Structure 1
Amino acid sequence: MSAEKIVILTGAGISAESGLGTFRDEDGLWAQHRIEDVATPEGFAANPQLVHDFYNARRAQSVAATPNAAHQALARLEAAHPGEVLVVTQNVDGLHEAAGSKAVMHMHGALSGALCAACENRWPAPMVMAPSDPCPVCAKPTTRPDIVWFGEMPYDMDQIWDHLRAADLFVAIGTSGNVYPAAAFVQDAARYGAHTVELNLEASATISDFAEARFGKASEVVPAWVAEVLGT
């Protein structure tokens, strides 16, 4: 398989085998809270302590987690592929970078970042954040996780659309196909000529938009696909 520019979208499914839960896990962090309470600007305004507690727990989980074979395979692909490989991730963990990937765009932000809601200053997040934490620049107690919540615009969208429209190959890994704008990426990439592949545990909501699909654990299907792309 030959493709000069490869754009890869990753979702929660690629990190599930590293112990980081998805929205649908029955016993994970998300099952203990309503999305409206911990992943919206309104939820943060209503109870900032609850939101900080939730993301402090997620941050601790993320730091303790290690990349799995799928993350490692994508890092290997970036290192060995003669063209460009870009990972656009919906995940807020740092497992792609921990595995060695360098070209990573976090469209939904990252647990490793803190954001001032007043002046939009950004800085590395401490392990534990609280509503009273002052911004290092404006000193206001308006610190929040640098996470894109429901109802907010994902980061770097203009750049991401440009990358999608220049891609020879678009691959979605571990995504549900239920969250926009990411769910529209496959149609946009295909419209501009990319071959499209879904690698997933089960079919996503947008499976009919892909030219090709392979199902199974990310730790199995992703390394197999990468080996095929690299001809190894």
Structure 2
Amino acid sequence: MDLASARAALAAASRVAVLTGAGVSAESGIPTFRDAQSGHWARFRPEDLASPAAYERDPELVWDWYAGRYRDVLAAQPNGAHRLLAELERQKGAGFFLATQNVDGLHGRAGSGQGGGQLVELHGNLVSARDEHTGEVVPLPDPDTLVTPPTSPRGHRMRPNVVWFGEYLPEEALNAAQAAFAAAEVALIIGTSGVVYPAAGLAFETLEGGGTVIEINPDATELTPYMSFSLRDVASRGLAALL
């Protein structure tokens, strides 16, 4: 498949599923999880900051880390890739499904999930927290007024609303993503390394259903050998070429 064929397939498709990873937000200045561990945080392993055991051992330390990341994502702005995906959703309507591994909330701020399709944040969202007792999800206050660990309206301590190492993805979100990718005529895999499962397995749901899977990534990934077509570019330019 060449670019013209990929563009034609996407234009003709009524059911489109998209998976995005850290590469989409990189153009907004959002570092990946590991890249963000600079300065003081460089001495911590990911498991020291993003696991149930770490949180149980030192919730203040974990919240200090996430409060800093929360401030960073609020300061960032959606980029061209986020906006193009929101526009693609408006074109496809109810046939559009976007699953993201990112926790920065930039897709929603760009308009995804508001154009007739569906947005699912597989790994949660940094701008909210979850009541440890009830599971209720509550938006975090402004970073300047955030007191950590935060307390829910019911008076319970809240944890970051993200999926940690050793935790399962939300079942409802994963089931919705698997169904959407299985039914998709075209799937886009954008800015993700393809090594984190089960999200990386979504591409195969589309392939097994006879659909076309298009990858946009500046580098080859573990999924590349299986793709119908791969665009070697950053997310915004790759999407612009495809659309």
Q: Same fold (TM over 0.5)?
A: yes
Following the alignment from structure 1 to structure 2, what is the Cα–Cα distance between the partners of residues 47 and 82?
Answer: 44
Q: Secondary structure at the match of 1:81?
A: helix
1:16-49 residue CA offsets vs partner (Å, 9 max, x unmatched): 0100001453875875631101111111111111
The alignment status of 1:100 with 2:105, answered yes or no, reads no
List gaps (5 residues or longer) in structure 1: 228-232
1:19 counterpart residue number: 29
TM-score (norm 2): 0.85
Q: 2 CA distance for matches of 1:144 and 1:129?
A: 12
Aligned length: 223
Q: Which among 169, 176, 185 is matched to residue 154 of structure 1? A: 169
- 2:211 corresponds to 1:201: no
| Alignment root-mean-square deviation, CA | 1.9
1:230 maps to what in 2? none
Bigger shift: residues 187-196 or 5-14: 187-196
Residue type of the partner of 2:232?
A: F
Q: Structure 2 residue aligned with 1:4, among 8, 14, 25?
A: 14
Between the aligned residues of both structures, percent identity stands at 37
Name the residue aligned to 1:220: 237
Q: 1:55 to 1:177 in 2, by over 3 A?
A: same
Q: Any residues of structure 2 matched to 1:1-232 within 5 Å, and which?
A: 1=8, 2-23=12-33, 25=35, 28=38, 31=42, 33-81=44-92, 84-102=95-113, 103-126=118-141, 127=143, 128-131=146-149, 133-137=150-154, 139-140=155-156, 142-155=157-170, 156-225=173-242, 227=243
**Structure 2 letter corresponding to 1:130:** T
Q: Which letter maps to 1:118? A: H
Partner amino acid, structure 2, of 1:120: G
